[in-house]
Every structure is written in C-alpha cells, then in structure tokens.
Structure 1
Amino acid sequence: MESVDKLKVTAAVALVAIGVAGFYIVPANQGALRVLAVIAGLLLAAATVWFSQPGRDFVDYARDSVKEAQKVVWPSRKETWQVTGIVFAFVGVLALFMWAVDSGLAWVFYDVILGRK
C-alpha cells in the first residue's frame, strides 16, 4: 500500500472517530443531530476510502462476490423438502441409536457391574 493510500485510510479512521466523538459532544436532547454526526463521519470516511487503492480493491471484490452469488443454483422447493426429510429421518435414527447405547450402558454399569436393581 502506498503512503498516500495509508494516509487516506488513516484519515477515514479519523473521520469515523470524529463522527463518534461528535455523537458524544452534542447534547443528549439533540438526538437527530447526534445521529447525523455519526452518519456524516461514516459517509465522509467511505468517500475517502473510495478513492484509495484498498477501497477500489474492496469494490472490485464486492462486485466479483455478487457475480459469483448469481451463479449459485438454488434447489427447488421439492428438493428442499426431500433433503429436510432426510435430515429429520437421520436425526430420528441417531436419537434412537443414542438412546439404545445409553440404556445399554446404564444396564451394564448399574445392573451387571454394580448389582443395583
């Protein structure tokens, strides 16, 4: 990252900090003005980062991410219900298996080994 870009990112962080500080400096009864201070700080910081190389890289990354998300093939309603049914069936079978193992171990330890009835 170039020194100019570092300066821009530092300025953006400072603008956010100034916006947050403005929130606490403005009296509590001026709620809209307090929120406006934070929003102004965020918008100015975003505008500053927008013109830096890391900001442009982030925008390119975001655009590529949207393009990749558009390539996703979503399952149909029927496929979704089928997979959900399989998951519920597997959970039921696993619950029965775990109950059987727990009951079996309880019988072995309490009835066979310890002799309790």
Structure 2
Amino acid sequence: MNTKVEQPKGSNAADIGKLVLAGLVLAAGIFAYSWFNNDPNVPSAVRLIGVLVALVVSLAIAATTGLGRRVRDFLGESQFEMRKVVWPTREETLKTTGIIMVVVVILSLLLGLIDLILKSVVLDWLLKLGS
C-alpha cells in the first residue's frame, strides 16, 4: 500500500511558464541547427552539440516543475521495482525458448491439419452435393 500523500494534480502559473520556457529553449536549439545547416563555417558536430545542450537545458528547466518532480519520483520508484525483478538464467531462457518453439510447431501442424480437413469437407463434399 502506498502511504505517500497524493499531491494536487493542478499546476500553477510558474510551472506552466517553466514548461513554455523549456519548449522555447528546445525549439531555439532545433531552429539554430536548421539555420546553420547550409553555413560551411559551422561544422555539423557543433550544430549537434548545440541541439544536445538545448535539450539538456530544457529538460533541466522542465525537471523543476511539479510535473518534472512527479516524473523523477516515478523513475526512481521504477528503478526500485526493477531491483526486485528476478531475471532468468541463460539455461532457463534456452529451455523456455525450446518449449515455446516445440509448442508453436505442434500447434501449426494441428491448425494445418484442421484447415486441410475443412477444405476437403467444403470443397469435396458440400460443393459436390449442391451440383
């Protein structure tokens, strides 16, 4: 049971302003990347670094909002839950894969046999009775 107190879902004007600012910073980075696309004096690596810097800055701005805190909390709780997962060993994975492959082959043969029987019933018996 989760004992944390639920936080209000609404966002205030400061959070909205920060998210808009983060979007503008990211849009400016993308715009600068495309603006300097044809400039031979600006290497493509510098343009790419500019977009990455704009992305990091916009994520940092967005992380200070209420939504950003909730996302960080969610990611932290997800990492905590991932530590509880018991992953299968290589041997268990190979055995399970083999079993699944055998079942798939058996079921495909069974469905093919059913299809063959239904085809012969419909084409050979029912259509010949009607003529």
Indicate the TM-score class for this superposition, using the shorter chain for normalisation: 0.7 to 0.9
CA-CA distance at 1:96 after TM superposition: 1.1
CA-CA distance at 1:97 after TM superposition: 0.9
How many residues align? The count is: 115
Partner of 1:19: 29
Correspondence list, 1:43-82, <5 A: 43-82=56-95
Q: Which runs of 5+ in 2 are unaligned?
A: 1-10
Task: State the superposition RMSD in angstroms.
Answer: 1.5
Correspondence list, 1:1-117, <5 A: 1-28=11-38, 29=40, 30=42, 31-115=44-128
Counterpart residue type for residue 15 of structure 2: D
* CA shift in 2, pair 1:33/1:78, >3 Å: closer
Greater fraction of residues in helix:
1
Instruction: Please give the secondary structure, in 1, of the residue aligned with 2:88.
Output: coil
CA-CA distance at 1:100 after TM superposition: 0.7
CA deviation digits over 1:53-83, x for unaligned, max 9? 2212211111111111111011122322222
Percent identity of paired positions between Structure 1 and Structure 2: 30
CA distance in 1, matches of 2:12, 2:28: 24
> Normalising by the residue count of structure 2, what TM-score does the alignment of the two structures yield?
0.79
CA-CA distance at 1:33 after TM superposition: 2.6
Q: Is the 8 A contact 1:23 1:34 kept in 2?
A: yes
Query: Greater CA deviation, 41-50 or 61-70?
Result: 41-50
Counterpart residue type for residue 63 of structure 2: W
CA distance in 1, matches of 2:51, 2:79: 28
TM superposition outliers: structure 1 runs of 4+ over 3 Å: none
